[in-house]
Amino acid sequence: MTNYRKQRAERKRLRMSAMGKASQRVQSARRLEHMAERLREMAENDVQNLPRKAGDALGCLQWTDFGTGKVRRWTVRIGCRRDRITIEAPGDAPSKSHGWTWFLTQLRKHLSP
């Protein structure tokens, strides 16, 4: 009886290892597919010549207050990392590098009465 259990355990171990190897092959194929897609995206970014370095300008935000006629303008630049930004306003020192959430919170303070 013990010999039967040993054989059964061995068969189960072999079956599980085969399933594990198949799973690894599937996961590897998915990773390679994702890698190819990511390389295509990176190539497109190079072709589009998007700003990639810290300090490169992303754009400009302009707000006109119709009540007073005052115009506010902020230049948005890439911060110390790609997911961070710095804000420059004419006459003010540039902000430190912050995330978009921080910027929108600060913007709300300036725009809401």
Residues 12 and 41 in one domain: yes
Beta carbons within 10 angstroms of residue 75's beta carbon: 15
Q: Which residues contact 75 (CB under 8 A, 6 or more apart)?
A: 57, 59, 60, 87, 88, 89
Residues 37 and 73 in one domain: no
pTM to 2 decimals?
0.51
Q: What digits encode the pLDDT tens for the residues 30-87?
A: 888 888 888 888 888 766 766 678 888 888 989 888 888 888 888 998 888 878 899 8
> With contact defined as beta carbons under 8 Å apart, do 87 and 94 qualify?
yes
User: Rounded to an integer, what distance in angstroms lies between the CA atom of residue 84 and that of residue 103?
Assistant: 10
Pick from 108, 73, 110: nearest CA to 90: 73
Number of structural domains in the chain: 2
Q: Which residues contact 64 (CB under 8 A, 6 or more apart)?
A: 70, 71, 72
Residues 38 and 63 in one domain: no
Residues 106 and 76 in one domain: yes
Residue 86 — φ and ψ, nearest 5°?
-120, 150
Domain span holding position 83: 57-111
Q: Quick check: 1 pLDDT over 80?
A: no
Residues 31 and 63 in one domain: no
